[in-house]
């Protein structure tokens, strides 16, 4: 999502909408051009933590930095002394890979501070309202209070759908795979047109249908950056309502759609909803893409490749990217 920002006040107001939640005790790197990723890490309190966080984000910034690249550094904390130290430390590190930091800010609950000039101001209600209206029009949901609340928002009442699963499986066994695939694609298109929440019976049928990897890949193949928000809405609802046995598919699809829409926090929370009792390859691919800071536009190159099953093609590309960036994939400190 691209926003027009005119002041430090507006930049601070935009951050919760960009992340999907209100960040506290965090450092946020906000790209001032579209070529760099947005990144957030927990505010490091020691030199070793600063090094660890830098190791997690350096590869992505190095990969995508073009001449003239720049980011704003925003420390979300009440500790102004820590913000000054951390903000200038990362400015030096970013300069070492050719990225300028013309704006370095800190913000507490009510005010913002410029770490270079010493200027400060109040976080105004007007800026918050303007940015909220802009992001809602762009299809973003209102940010939740914190990352835990974002994770909780993906857990709903799963019993109504669970009651339909046995009957749905019996009915599915009487149909050809092609019938279910055609129905799933049609139901996706209907949701994209009207945005109406699926009934419990339709939700159960779609969840059972995407257990078929070829069918799931057809729905995955429909995802583009221009329709990612619609996919986020659909798979958020189905992840909330899906019992454990059918949740890996929708949660992984939600993770991928959230990543494509630039919402890394939602993507991670979605992956946390994938049951841990067995490996699910699509979830691994989404995790690798996020961990290495892969830009969503690179998926467009994968989609343009010669025809091949999407999961195989995506696996080769994303995991190859991950190995090139970091070696074996490893957890990031919390985007």
CB distance 227 to 192 below 8 Å: yes
For residue range 255-275, list pLDDT tens digits in order: 999 988 878 888 989 999 999
Query: What DSSP state is assigned to residue 78?
Result: S
| Token pair for 128 | 């918050």
For residue range 228-261, list pLDDT tens digits in order: 889 999 999 999 999 999 999 999 999 999 988 8
Round to whole Å and give the CA distance between 173 and 96: 59
Q: Which residues contact 161 (CB under 8 A, 6 or more apart)?
A: 200, 203, 204, 207, 241, 242, 243
Q: Would you call 42 helix, strand, or coil by DSSP?
A: strand
- The confidence score (pLDDT) of residue 38 equals 84
Q: Would you call 250 helix, strand, or coil by DSSP?
A: helix
Taken in order of first residue, the domains within the chain and their CATH numbers are 8-143 (3.40.140), 159-326 (no CATH)
CB distance 315 to 288 below 8 Å: no
Map tokens 């960040």 to a residue.
23
- The confidence score (pLDDT) of residue 321 equals 45
Claim: this prediction has a pTM higher than 0.95: no
CB distance 188 to 227 below 8 Å: no
- The confidence score (pLDDT) of residue 162 equals 97
Which residue positions in the chain have pLDDT lower than 70? 1-3, 135-145, 301-335
Q: Which residues contact 285 (CB under 8 A, 6 or more apart)?
A: 256, 311, 314, 315, 318, 319
Q: Which residues contact 90 (CB under 8 A, 6 or more apart)?
A: 27, 29, 50, 54, 73, 101
- The confidence score (pLDDT) of residue 229 equals 87
Tell me how crowded residue 270 is: count the other CB atoms within 10 A of its CB.
29
- The confidence score (pLDDT) of residue 28 equals 93
- The confidence score (pLDDT) of residue 327 equals 41
């Amino acid at each position: 999502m691209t926003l027009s920002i005119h002041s430090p006040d507006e930049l601070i107001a935009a951050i919760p909408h960009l992340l999907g939640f209100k960040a506290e005790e965090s450092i946020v790197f906000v790209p001032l051009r579209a070529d760099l990723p947005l990144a957030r890490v927990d505010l490091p309190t020691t030199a070793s933590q600063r090094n660890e966080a830098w190791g997690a984000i350096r590869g992505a910034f190095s990969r995508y930095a073009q001449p003239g690249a720049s980011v704003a550094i925003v420390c979300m904390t009440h500790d102004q002394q820590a913000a000054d130290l951390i903000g200038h430390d990362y400015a030096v590190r970013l300069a070492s890979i050719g990225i300028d930091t013309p704006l370095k800010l800190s913000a507490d609950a009510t005010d913002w501070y410029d770490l270079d000039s010493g200027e400060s101001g109040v976080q105004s209600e007007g800026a918050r309202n303007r940015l909220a209206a802009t992001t809602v029009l762009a299809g973003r949901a209102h940010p939740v209070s914190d990352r835990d609340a974002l994770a909780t928002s993906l857990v709903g009442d799963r019993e109504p759908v669970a009651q339909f699963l046995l009957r749905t499986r019996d009915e599915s066994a009487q149909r050809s795979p092609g019938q279910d695939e055609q129905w799933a694609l049609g139901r996706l298109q209907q949701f994209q047109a009207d945005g109406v929440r699926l009934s419990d019976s339709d939700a159960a049928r779609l969840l059972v249908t995407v257990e078929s990897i070829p069918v799931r890949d057809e729905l995955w193949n429909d995802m583009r950056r221009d329709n990612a928000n619609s996919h986020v809405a659909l798979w958020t609802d189905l992840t909330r309502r899906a019992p454990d046995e059918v949740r890996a598919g929708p949660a992984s699809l939600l993770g991928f759609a959230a990543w494509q829409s630039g919402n890394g926090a939602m993507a991670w929370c979605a992956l946390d909803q994938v049951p841990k009792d067995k490996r699910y390859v699509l979830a691994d691919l989404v995790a690798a893409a996020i961990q290495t800071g892969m830009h969503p536009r690179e998926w467009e190159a994968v989609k343009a490749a010669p025809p091949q099953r999407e999961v195989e093609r995506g696996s080769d590309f994303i995991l190859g990217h991950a190995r090139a960036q970091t070696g074996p994939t490893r957890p990031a400190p919390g985007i």
